[in-house]
Amino acid sequence: MQFEENAARSWQLLDMNGRIVANGTTFSSITVNHKGLAKGIYALRVQNGDRFNAIKLLIP
């Protein structure tokens, strides 16, 4: 995931039970290393200031 504006964002990768399996902070893009993650559906939650966005990810 890449962003147009260069601002600090925090992100969390959550499993379907709501557990945080990865997290970080970025300015321009997010790359998630899926090695070691179980197959399934995850939610990527990105926070930019007081705004939140979520994206579903499928790990095959």
- Please give the Cα distance from 41 to 34 (Å, whole number): 12
- Please give the Cα distance from 55 to 14 (Å, whole number): 10
Which of 30, 29, 35 shows the shortest CA–CA distance to 4? 29
Beta carbons within 8 Å of 49's beta carbon, 6+ residues apart: 7
**What is the predicted pLDDT for the residue at 31?**
84
**What is the predicted pLDDT for the residue at 3?**
55
The residue whose two tokens read 């790990």 is: 59
pLDDT tens track for 2-59: 555 667 889 999 999 999 999 999 887 888 888 889 999 999 999 988 888 899 999 9
The residue whose two tokens read 């939140």 is: 52
